[in-house]
Amino acid sequence: MVSGSAEFEISRRGVLACSGAAVALTAVPAEAQGPTAAAAPATLPVTLTVNGTRHDLTLDTRTTLLDTLREHLHLTGTKKGCDHGQCGACTVIVNGERINSCLSLAVQHQGDKVTTIEGLGTPDKLHPMQAAFVKHDGFQCGYCTPGQICSAVSVLDEIRRGIPSHVQADLTEKPGFTNIEMRERMSGNICRCGAYSNILDAMSDVAGERA
Amino acid sequence: MKSFTYERATSPAQAAAIVARTPGAKFLGGGTNLLDLMKLEIETPTHLVDVQDLKLDRIEKTREGGLRIGALVTNTALSADERVRRDYGVLARAIQAGASGQLRNKATTAGNLLQRTRCPYFYDPNMPCNKRKPGSGCSAIGGYSRQLAVVGSSDKCIATYPGDMAQAMRVLDAAVETVKADGTTRAIPIADFHRLPGDRPEIDNVLERGELITGIALPKPLGGQHFYQKVRDRASYAFALVSVAAVIQKDGSGRVSFGGVAHKPWRVAAADAALPQGAQAVAQRAFAEARPTEDNRFKIPLATRALASVIAQAKAPRA
């Protein structure tokens, strides 16, 4: 640890990353040295393009797309909530469609194009949906927000492409950018703080500009 | 999660052959249910055969005037297909009533059929469960059974098949097309695809080891009005307490399958025949052999009222 260094700027993320590494260092050798240690875990090469940048990785086959983004590429904007596809915090956009990155193995995504919250916009140049979330106070603690925003961007795209939904009265008609359509389509993103109505306001704002 | 090796299959028959000859091997489609279960070590495959490159992602017309849906067509793509929306509305509606947008984008047609029960005891490795660990007992019988089966259950298992899509497939009399390890193919009527738990609740369906689903064939359109009425604890993104998939013709005849009540989509011929007499008559026949628990007895009147609502909608003048 370099925590004694005067230049070292302590951030919460830095501390977490260091303690994570310490845990990994103590855990791995113990397992590897065990007398009944199983064969080394299977690894495979995987190439992903994330936010426009190509990454050539070698990963344990068990590594989810979510853990690849967070632990290997250090793109920690995408969040791990339930890790079982129930909360939507891990939502990213793969080849133009939103998915739960926790329920996908990295090896399933060889050659795929992934967009995370870091790829939608930057602090200097926010994506319109990011700006709308700020304007409408579409979050409180912020933990679910990257998933909410990736989902929200995809929802507007899905409505534009005419993907039907459960709340549509006539299956053969095109859906509209209505409140009830957006609420239904956002049901895979849970917000523990209950920012839902403001999230809907942010989405309506962006949808209004597009319509 | 237990360690596993991984490969991508290059043809359906090759995929079937690999899984048939490799102990501990499983097919991997979208992975949305399998990965969930692997994290809990309820599923512990030692080798995964990813079938995503098999080009089974098309929806095509059949010579008989129906549709063949490739095993890898995503739930989103299937429910958005114009032909499905126009001619098989019950199927589009059932898919849209299930899961979340993110899951439907990844989940496949075959995987949807193969999803495992959401019985809370199946999901809890600390509790006995005959489906997860044969012979260990059933914690649900005498336990928390509100979500579980009311009909077709056994003394070994009261789990339900949780899916929505299969309810519509059952009403449409779809056929599940497969290839086996030796390259032979067969079409399994959806009515025979899922099993009742009986003495072997660990076996969900009639697929043989290594047998791969390649597609689902829908017969030519039935006409009529199509409905999928799902009743659940929240308005979206929850499994059914009960659901009703129905196709109702002008004369009041039709077909109905009940979801959330049994180990398979629950459709009874005598119940179909009673449709013109109303929901009560249908339910009496569909649930004649029901053995509900104290906690899930409510499902029978709930399913009856859900069907009554569907019948009322069918009779209402079209807007």
Cβ <8 Å between B1 and A62:
yes
Question: How far does the CA of residue B253 sit from the closest CA of chain A (Å)?
Answer: 23
Provide the β-strand partners of residue B180: none
| pLDDT range class, residue A28, cuts 50, 70, 90 | very low
CB-side neighbour CA atoms (13 Å) of A46: 29
Tally of CB atoms within 10 A around A133: 26
pLDDT-based confidence at A40, cuts 50/70/90?
A: confident
- Position A31 scores a pLDDT of 42
Helix pair angle (A196-210, A128-135), 10° resolution? 140
Tell whether B36 is within 8 A of chain A (Cβ). yes
For A157, the enclosing helix (H) or strand (E) is helix A145-160
pLDDT, tens digit, 9 for 90 and up, residues A133-152: 999 999 999 999 999 999 99
Q: Are the C-beta atoms of B47 and B24 separated by less than 8 Å? A: yes
Q: What angle do CA B245, A164, A78 make, to 5 degrees?
A: 110
Check A164 against B79: CB less than 8 A apart.
Answer: yes
Q: List per-residue pLDDT tens for chain B, 319 residues long.
A: 999 999 999 999 999 999 999 999 999 999 999 999 999 999 999 999 999 999 999 999 999 999 999 999 999 999 999 999 999 999 999 999 999 999 999 999 999 999 999 999 999 999 999 999 999 999 999 999 999 999 999 999 999 999 999 999 999 999 999 999 999 999 999 999 999 999 999 999 999 999 999 999 999 999 999 999 999 999 999 999 999 999 999 999 999 999 999 999 999 999 999 999 999 999 999 999 999 999 999 999 999 999 999 999 999 987 5
Of all residues in chain A, the one with the smallest CA distance to B100 is A188
Structural domain contains residue B147:
no
8 A C-beta contact, residue A79 and residue A143: yes
The answer to whether position B87 is within a domain reads: no
The first and second tokens of residue B288, run together, are 């004649």
Please report the pLDDT score of residue B317 as a whole number: 82
In total, chain A counts a number of residues equal to 211
**Domain-located, residue B71:** no
- What is the rounded distance in angstroms from the CA atom of residue A118 to the CA atom of residue A120? 6
Whether B100 sits inside 8 A of A38 (CB atoms) is no
Instruction: For residue A114, give the 3-state DSSP assignment.
Output: strand
Q: What is the pTM of this model?
A: 0.93
CATH of the domain at B45: 3.30.43.10
The CA distance from B265 to B91, in Å, is 13
What is the domain count for chain A? 2
**A200 in a domain, yes or no?**
yes
Give the pLDDT score at B97.
98
User: The tokens of B163 are what?
Assistant: 């899916």
Strands laid side by side in the A43-50 sheet: A53-60, A43-50, A113-115, A91-94, A97-100
Q: Which of B35, B92, B103 sits opposite A171 (nearest CB)?
A: B92
The span from the CA of A171 to the CA of A165, in Å, is: 8
Please report which confidence band the pLDDT of residue A32 belongs to, taking 50, 70 and 90 as the band edges. very low
Residue A25 has pLDDT above 60, yes or no: no
A15 in a structural domain: yes
Distances in whole angstroms, Cα of residue A53 to Cα of each of A111, A152, A154: 12, 23, 21
Give the domain range for residue B40: 5-50
Sort out which chain B residues have CB atoms less than 8 A from A99's CB and list them: 102-103, 105-106
Domain boundaries, position A209 = 121-211
Would you say residue A38 has pLDDT above 60? no
pLDDT higher than threshold 50 for residue A191: yes
A90 backbone φψ class: left, alpha, beta (φ>0; ψ -120 to 50): alpha
Q: Does A198 touch chain B (CB under 8 A)?
A: no
Nearest CA in chain A to B6: A61
pLDDT at A7: 45
Q: Contact, B9 vs B49, CB < 8 A?
A: yes
Query: What is the spatial distance between Cα B183 and Cα B250, in angstroms, rounded to a whole number?
Result: 44
In terms of Cβ atoms closer than 10 Å to its own Cβ (0-12, 13-18, 19+), residue B142 is exposed
Give the CATH number of the domain where residue B307 resides.
Answer: 3.30.390.50
Q: Among all residues of chain A, which has the CA nearest to that of B33?
A: A103
Nearest to B218 by CA among B179, B247, B177, B265: B177
Please indicate, yes or no, if residue B75 is contained in any of the structural domains.
no
Of the pLDDT bands very low, low, confident and very high (cuts 50, 70, 90), residue A132 is: very high
Tokens coding B231:
């009743």
Q: What's the mean pLDDT in A151-175?
A: 96
* SS3 label, residue A133: helix
In a domain, A111, yes or no: no
Domain count, chain B: 2
| Tokens matching residue A95 | 């080849």
Q: Is residue B270 one of the residues assigned to a domain?
A: yes
Q: Which residues of A touch B32 (CB under 8 A)?
A: 85, 100, 103
What's the gap in Å between the CA of B123 and the closest CA on chain A?
12
**Which of these ranges, A2-6, A163-167, B153-157, B211-215, has the smallest mean pLDDT?**
A2-6
Q: ipTM score here?
A: 0.97
Q: Are B106 and B87 in contact (CB under 8 A)?
A: no
The count of CB pairs under 8 A between chains A and B is: 106
Q: Does A63 contact chain B (CB < 8 Å)?
A: no
Distance of CA B123 to the CA centre of its chain: 18
A164 touches chain B (CB under 8 A): yes
Q: Which residue has the tokens 């603690």?
A: A141
A81-109 burial: b if 16+ Cβ within 10 Å, else e: bebbbbbbbbbbbbeebbbbbbbbbbbbb
The DSSP secondary-structure symbol of A175 reads: P
Of residues B192, B201, B92, B205, the one with CA closest to residue B148? B201
- Whether A105 sits inside 8 A of B85 (CB atoms) is no
Give the strand order in the sheet containing B254-259.
B225-231, B242-248, B254-259
CA dist list (Å): B244 to B160, B171, B204, B279, B284: 15, 10, 21, 11, 15
Decide if B138 is inside a domain.
no
Picking from A162, A172, A185, the nearest residue to B101 by CB comes out as A185
Looking at residue A36, what is its pLDDT? 46
Note whether residue B278 is domain-resident: yes
Domain contains A97: no
Q: Is the pLDDT of residue A6 over 60?
A: no
- B242 domain residue, yes or no: yes
